[in-house]
Amino acid sequence: MEILGLSFEYTGDAKRDLEQVRIFAKKHGISYVVLLAGTTENDEVKQKLPPLVNLRAFPTTIFIGRDGVVKKIHAGFEGPATGDRFSRLSGELEKTVKSLLKGE
C-alpha cells in the first residue's frame, strides 16, 4: 500500500505554503510523503484533478485499487468529538483499506 498526500494551500506563496505543510505533517505525525500540489484559488484543484467533480471538502481521500481504478472517494472528516460518526467512519475506512489490500 502506498499513501501520498496532496496539499492545496491558500496563500500561493510557495515558501510559506511548504512551511504550513511541514508544520501540519509534524503536528499530526504524518510519515508519508505530502506534496504541495498548488493553491485553492482559481479552480486549480479542478485543473490538477479533473476527474474529481465538485471537490469542495478538505480533506478528500481517494482510494485507488491495484488496477489503477478509483474505488472510493471520501470527502471531509468526522473527528473524535463527533462520537458515533467518528467510530462509524473509522470502521468504514478501515474496511475499505483492508478490501483494497486484498486486491478487491
DSSP 80-102: GGGTHHHHHHHHHHHHHHHHHHT
Give the residue among 103, 104, 99, 79 at the shortest CA–CA distance from 90.
79
pTM equals: 0.70
Given a cut of 90, whether residue 23 has pLDDT beyond it is yes
Q: How confident is the model at residue 57 (pLDDT cuts 50, 70, 90)?
A: low
Given a cut of 70, whether residue 7 has pLDDT beyond it is yes
The pLDDT assigned to 54 comes to 66
User: In angstroms, rounded to a whole number, what is the distance separating the alpha carbons of residues 26 and 102?
Assistant: 30
Q: How confident is the model at residue 91 (pLDDT cuts 50, 70, 90)?
A: very high
Q: What is the mean pLDDT of residues 51-69?
A: 78
